[in-house]
Structure formats: structure tokens, C-alpha cells
Amino acid sequence: MLDDRKAAILRAVVQEYIETAQPVGSGRIADAEGVDVSSATVRNEMATLETDGYLVQPHTSAGRVPTEKGYRYFVDTIGAPRALRGEHARQVSAFFRRAHGEIEEMLEATSRLLSGITDWTGVVVPPPSTETPLRSIHLASLAPRQALAVLVYADGSVEKHSVEFDADTGEERVNAASAHLTAHLSGVVRSGLPDSVTPTGDTETDRITATALDVLRASVEPDAPSDVFVGGASRVASAFDAVETVQEVLHVLEQHLVVVTLLRDVVDRGLQVAIGSETGMETLASAALVVAPYTVGGERAGSIGVLGPARMDYREAMAAVTDVSNRLENHLTEG
Amino acid sequence: MLDDRKAAILRAVVQEYIETAQPVGSGRIADAEGVDVSSATVRNEMATLETDGYLVQPHTSAGRVPTEKGYRYFVDTIGAPRALRGEHARQVSAFFRRAHGEIEEMLEATSRLLSGITDWTGVVVPPPSTETPLRSIHLASLAPRQALAVLVYADGSVEKHSVEFDADTGEERVNAASAHLTAHLSGVVRSGLPDSVTPTGDTETDRITATALDVLRASVEPDAPSDVFVGGASRVASAFDAVETVQEVLHVLEQHLVVVTLLRDVVDRGLQVAIGSETGMETLASAALVVAPYTVGGERAGSIGVLGPARMDYREAMAAVTDVSNRLENHLTEG
DNA sequence: GTTGGCACTCGGTAACATCGAGTGCCAGCC
DNA sequence: GGCTGGCACTCGATGTTACCGAGTGCCAAC
């Protein structure tokens, strides 16, 4: 554990580095608020902090830069999450006051909101559709042997799966099957779909129903294509100085499944912030991720996050992510 | 017009610059295929080409770099579009052989395909849904006064619009309205929706029908949120050397409506390639766009494109875009 | 335990020389 | 007359050197 003075110095270094992106020298820290010792003392303490792995020097005659461990300490001792203030708080309020319409559009806009507030990239993962209650199912025939199963969920999201039939199917039968499915599966969650539904008595209708049900059951896969909304990806360009890193991070953001997994893992580990290697991804070594889960009607959880450089403003990002996730939760629950 | 030798030299300069991204000197050109004069002569010719605006020198003692006009000449005299060859041709074939399932997923994958072939960013704009025949309409009630109008199009794409009712509406009535709408509007194009449909006789059902129809008619707006699939955005990072440019281009790609408009404008002007300012966007000054339209069943046209630096391999990009658009057209038409 | 002082380090910047790729021009050659 | 070898010239890139100063570690003194 760090004594008070070391802690104060470390925090001051992180704070300063976040603001300036320049290695921080002992002089600057000695002047800083909350540190009332001379620069010589600060130097001694900094040397210890370096030995203990909280700081590093880019080169001998330079100031110090926080390590992952340093950022971690900073985040862990950041105290009660500050609420959003000023312009940003207003932005969030206004956003949710105006929010309406399609849920996907709204979540996409939310990712842009996060990006706008924090200056980095915003990510929004919707609750898994497999855990959202179904509202209705519509089979729309496209060709004699092909139909589209359109699932409408209670939260207003829509999903589709194409269904292939073995034999030509009449449209009336398809409609009958469609109504039958809705009648039996409304309110059910897709991961809890039954093996079969009560037969209608009409053989062909039942076959259509069964085929569609099979498709829907089969679509509950862990590696199914996942929705993610990424807002402000262009900010990545200014987040890292190495072009190579920019490209790698952008590449990560393009792989939606990876992003979803990443957020989930971090949330599952009970973290609000994952710094560098804590993300579990080598390519995010100089990045940090601030996340917050949100739940809608009990268990079905989505998450939101902000991806930026390790030297991001954690206070603000944590406040933003917390506030937005709460508002989002309310918005989707009261809906 | 340029005489043969000047043309050959210009073409060689462009070719070389595309490959090396370095200013091209007279020596290199004198050695190049198709140019059998000394470097001194090349220098004289290059000086003329510079006066004529085809080339520029970054500084006095450097080689030459093509201008927009230079690239334009190169593209205009590129001759018959080469077909894709080798590995790339195989990739495209394999892709369309395996392609199946949801149209959106497939178009998204197509954008990644384009990116993979050309090394730059691929863009796919689906045909406007307003011009695609409707297959069926499903009203799904979400709340007493709210429903979701789910439109299923003949090509298997799905779209939704939320509908608010003035008064509470029973589910049966909503279903009746839904069936009524499908019956009357199947095969119709959304931009050609009628003001009203034959009344059912039931006042409330008719009111629901009318409300839904109003929403659908209102949703035919030029600035409605548009689908675009952008694949390989991370390649932008390596396309331009100025971080600033990278950010600007990424920003453009985030604005889907802008991208759609951009592609449409270029196609409408009858161009296959838009270089720098030809795109009409200042932020794309050092970029180039290679596009191709594709049509499905007559008029409804989408387009695909590749966005890269002005010094991209136009031959390959044009071949890729042409080939993929043809294949895509076939794929969607034969379905 | 703290601190002022001091020698030391070393990246960054500037001044300067050098190198060489590339140029424009010109006289001579075919 | 057009092409070309030759040549003086330009100027970015690269390397050298010197210097500055921010920052350090250490130590003696308070």
C-alpha cells in the first residue's frame, strides 16, 4: 500500500499526464495542489514509485509517465464516481428527453453521445436478443420454398432469419403457421424456445411451424453475429500517436463479435475500467476501456463503454458511462 | 491532347508513383518500359507536363508527383477495364458461390470483400428500399397505443417504422389492419404508396390502416437514415500519411447519408472514378473513389465503391468494383 | 525526515556540412 | 530539329557537433 504522500504524488502525476500527455517532472508535482514538499522530496518518492512499478521514465533525464499499474491505482482510488456536470450533463439530459423511435437508431445515437462527451469512441451493446421476450413472429414467404421469419421483440427490436422449406408451401399455410407461432411464443425468450408447439392438426402447417422453430432454435448460438454500435471511431485517429496502433484499434472495432465479447468479459470480471493488458487484448495495450452494464427488466443486460487511450480522463469517462447507462436503463424500462 | 511520348511518360510516372508512393525522377522513367529516350529528354517532357498541370514537384530537386489532372488522364486512357485475375478473381468467385442468407449480412460481407481485394475501404450501398417492391407488411403492437410496422421487401430486406395511435387499439384490429395492408400493398413500391386503401368497413381498423399508411408515406424522405456497409475502415489509417486526413476521412465514412449521396452523385455524373476534388468533398482532396452501380430488376439501383488514396491502383480497383458489381447484380437478380 | 545544492544525463533544437537524387539548360551530335 | 551527354545548381535528407535545459540522483546540512 502506498502512504498518503506517495499516493498524492502518484495521483498528481497521472492527473498531469492525462492533461498534458507529456512526461511529468518533480518540479511540476511539487507545485501541485495537495503536495506540500519540495521537488527533491518528490524526486525521492518518485524513484520509489518507479521501483514499485507505478511509474516509468521514457529516458533518464525525462519526467515520469504512469504505468498500467499506476493508472490502475489512480482509478481504484478515484473515490465516489463523480456525476456529470455542466454542458455534458445537459447534453445527456437533452438527448434522453428527445430520444424516441427505433431502438437501434437510438442506441446508435447513444454511442455517438458517449463519443461526444468523452472525446473518444463510444460503444453500445444492446441486450442479447436471445434473452428478450418475443412479442410476435411473422413468417413472410419470399419464394415457394423460402420464407423470412421476422421476430419482433418486446423492446421493439426486430430480427430476421431466413427459413428454407423442403417442399413448396402455400401462402395461407405460412400465414397460419405464423399466427400459430405468435400465439404460442409471445412472451417467450428465444433461448428458452420449446422443442415444439401444440400441433394445429393440419400436417403441412405443422411442418412449416416446426421448420421455422428449428431455425429459430438453431440461431441461438454464442458466436452469432452481434449488434454493436460504435460511435466516433474517427477519434481513434487522434488517440494514439503510432499509425500502426490506430490501425490495430480500428481493426478491433470492426470486429463486432470481438467488441461484444470484450465488453462482456470486462463487465463479468466486475470491472468498470480495463486498462491496457487488462482488456485481454494485445492490440489494446495502450488503450483503456470504461464500461457500464445496464439491465432492462431484470436479467437481460446490455453494456456501454468508452474506448480511448490509457491516458484518458477516467473521471469524466466513468461519470459519462455511469450516467448514460442509468438513463438508458430508465429509458428502456419505462419506454 | 498529349502526344504519344508525353502520354507514355505520364502513364509511367503515375504507375511508378502508385507503386512506390515516392516522387518519380526522370532516370527511373527513362529505364521504364515503353520509353526509349534518355533521361534528359524525359526531363524536358516532364517540364512540359508540369506546365500543363499533369505533374508537380514537391520541391525543386525532387522527382514528380501526379496531380489530380494527371491521375485523371491516367484513368481516362487506362483502356478496356481489365478483368480480375489470379487470387482475387478466385476470392470473388468463392465469395459469391458461398453467399446466401440475409441480404444485409451479405452486403456487409461484400464490402469487406472489396476491401480485402483492393487493400482499401469497401463501401456497399443497397438499392433504395423506397424503390423495392413490398412483399408484406406486419403491424406488431407493442403497447396499447404503439405498434411497429415491419416491412418485408421482395429482396428479403426488412425495415421497421414505429406507429403511434391516437387511441388504444385492440390487437385483433391491428392484425386485421396488418392483413389488409399486405393484401393491398404487396408488390407496390414505397415511393408509390397510394393515399389510402379500400376501406374494410370497420371504422377502427380503417383508422389504424390509415395511420400506418401515413407513417409509411412520411418515411419516404430524401434524408432518411440510409443503410451503407463500410468494410475495412481501418485501412484508412495506412492510406494517408497525415493523421489529420485519416481522421477526416474516417469522419466522412461515419456519416452514412454523406457516403450514400457521394456515391450516388458520382454515379449520376457517369463517372467510374472520382479523384480528389472530383468527389465534391474538400476532406477527400487526397482520396479517390472508384464506384460501380448495380441494378436489381430494372431501375432500383444500388452502388458499390472503393475509397482509397488518390495514388491507389486504379486498374485493380476498377476491375474489382466492376467484377463485384456484376456478380452482385446476378446474385441478387437470380436470388 | 526534509531540502537546497550540485553534478550529471540526455533528448531536443539549432547550426552547419555533406551527400546525392533530381533538375534545367546548353552545346554538340546524329 | 530533335535527342542526348554533360554540367552547374538546388535542396531535402542525413549526419555531426554544440548547446540548452528539464529533469534526475545523491548528499550534506538543516
A226-269 pLDDT tens trace: 889 999 999 999 999 899 999 999 999 999 999 999 999 999 99
How far apart are the C-alpha atoms of B42 and A50, rounded to whole Å? 61
Which pLDDT value is given to residue A36? 87
Which pLDDT value is given to residue A272? 96
Instruction: Report phi then psi at B3, rounded to 5.
Output: -75, 170
Cα B37 to Cα B6, B42, B43, B212, distances in angstroms: 11, 7, 10, 73
Cα A145 to Cα A208, B76, B125, B307, B332, distances in angstroms: 10, 47, 28, 39, 17
Q: What is the pLDDT of residues A157-179, one digit of tens each?
A: 999 999 999 988 888 889 899 99
A243–B237: do the CB atoms touch at under 8 Å?
yes
Strands (E) across chain B are located at: 55-56, 65-66, 121-125, 134-143, 146-153, 158-164, 229-231, 273-275, 287-295, 301-309
Shortest distance between the Cα of B103 and any Cα of chain A, in A, equals 10
Secondary structure of chain A in HEC code, one letter for each residue: CCCHHHHHHHHHHHHHHHHHCCCECHHHHHHCCCCCCCHHHHHHHHHHHHHCCCEECCCCCCCEEECHHHHHHHHHCCCCCCCCCHHHHHHHHHHHHHCCCCHHHHHHHHHHHHHHHHCCEEEEECCCHHHCEEEEEEEEEEECCEEEEEEEECCCCEEEEEEECCCCCCHHHHHHHHHHHHHHHCCCEHHHCCCCCCCCCCHHHHHHHHHHHHHHHHCCCCCCCCCCEEECHHHHHHHCCCHHHHHHHHHHHHCHHHHHHHHHHHHHCCCCEEEHHHHCCHHHCCEEEEEEEEECCCCCEEEEEEEEECCCCHHHHHHHHHHHHHHHHHHHHHC
* Nearest in space to B243 (alpha carbons), one of A310, A243, A259: A243
The residue that leads in pLDDT, A200 or A88, is A88
Would you call B72 helix, strand, or coil by DSSP? helix
Beta strands A301-309 and B229-231, pairing class = unpaired
How far apart are the C-alpha atoms of B65 and B311, rounded to whole Å? 10
B162–A101: do the CB atoms touch at under 8 Å?
yes
Residue with cell 476491401: B115
With contact defined as beta carbons under 8 Å apart, do A256 and A225 qualify? yes
Say yes or no: Cβ of A44 under 7 A from any atom of strand D.
Answer: yes
Would you call B35 helix, strand, or coil by DSSP? coil
A250–B237: do the CB atoms touch at under 8 Å?
yes
Say yes or no: Cβ of B62 under 7 A from any atom of strand C.
Answer: yes
Long-range contacts of A199-208 (CB under 8 A, 24+ apart): A200/A176, A202/A173, A202/A176, A204/A169, A204/A170, A204/A173, A205/A173, A205/A176, A205/A177, A205/A180, A206/A177, A208/A139, A208/A165, A208/A169, A208/A173, A208/A174, A208/A177
How far apart are the C-alpha atoms of A166 and A54, rounded to whole Å? 65
Q: What is the pLDDT along chain B (335 residues), one digit of tens a residue?
A: 789 999 999 999 999 999 999 999 999 999 887 788 999 999 999 999 999 999 999 988 889 999 999 999 999 998 887 889 899 999 999 999 999 888 999 999 999 999 999 999 999 999 999 989 999 999 998 888 999 999 999 989 999 999 999 888 888 889 899 999 999 999 999 999 999 888 888 888 999 999 999 999 999 887 777 889 999 999 999 999 899 999 999 999 999 999 999 999 999 999 999 999 999 999 999 999 999 999 987 777 899 999 999 999 999 999 999 999 999 999 998 75
Cα three-residue angle B28-B239-B284, rounded to 5 degrees: 105
With contact defined as beta carbons under 8 Å apart, do A307 and A287 qualify? yes
Which pLDDT value is given to residue B335? 58
pLDDT class for A335, splitting at 50, 70, 90?
low
Say yes or no: Cβ of B38 under 7 A from any atom of strand C.
Answer: no
How far apart are the C-alpha atoms of B258 and A111, rounded to whole Å? 19
Please enumerate in sequence order all residues whose Cβ is within 8 A of that of A92, keeping only pairs 6 or more positions apart, or say none.
A84, A113, A117, A320, A323, A324, A327
* Nearest in space to B306 (alpha carbons), one of B36, B78, B118, B30: B118
Average pLDDT of A307-324? 96
Beta strands A146-153 and A55-56, pairing class = unpaired
With contact defined as beta carbons under 8 Å apart, do B224 and B190 qualify? no
With contact defined as beta carbons under 8 Å apart, do B209 and B184 qualify? no
Cell of A333: 424500462
How far apart are the C-alpha atoms of B194 and B185, rounded to whole Å? 9
Mean pLDDT over the full length of chain A: 93
Cell of A247: 490501425
Q: What is the pLDDT of residues A209-219, one digit of tens each?
A: 999 999 999 99
Separation in Å: C17 C1' and B55 CA: 32
pLDDT-above-90 percentage for chain A: 76
Separation in Å: C8 C1' and A8 CA: 28
- Closest residue in B to A103 (Cα) is B162
Shortest distance between the Cα of B229 and any Cα of chain A, in A, equals 12
- Closest residue in B to A334 (Cα) is B143
B59: nt with nearest C1' to CA? D11
Separation in Å: D29 C1' and A43 CA: 18
How far apart are the C-alpha atoms of A286 and A259, rounded to whole Å? 16
Which pLDDT value is given to residue B97? 95
The residue that leads in pLDDT, A81 or A221, is A221
pLDDT class for A313, splitting at 50, 70, 90?
very high
Q: Would the pLDDT of A194 be above 70? A: yes
Please enumerate in sequence order all residues whose Cβ is within 8 A of that of B85, keeping only pairs 6 or more positions apart, or say none.
B319
Strand partners, A144: none
How far apart are the C-alpha atoms of B242 and B109, rounded to whole Å? 29
The residue that leads in pLDDT, A255 or A101, is A255
Residue with cell 390509415: B210
B233–A246: do the CB atoms touch at under 8 Å?
no
Mutate to test the interface with B, among A142, A159, A182 (most CBs of B within 10 A): A142
Strand partners, B139: B149
Bases of chain D within 7 A of a CB of the protein: 3-6, 9-12, 21-27
Q: What is the pLDDT of residues A23-62, one digit of tens each?
A: 999 999 998 877 789 999 999 999 999 999 999 999 888 8
Residue with cell 512526461: A23
Q: Model-level pTM?
A: 0.94
Cα A228 to Cα A113, A322, B259, distances in angstroms: 15, 18, 20
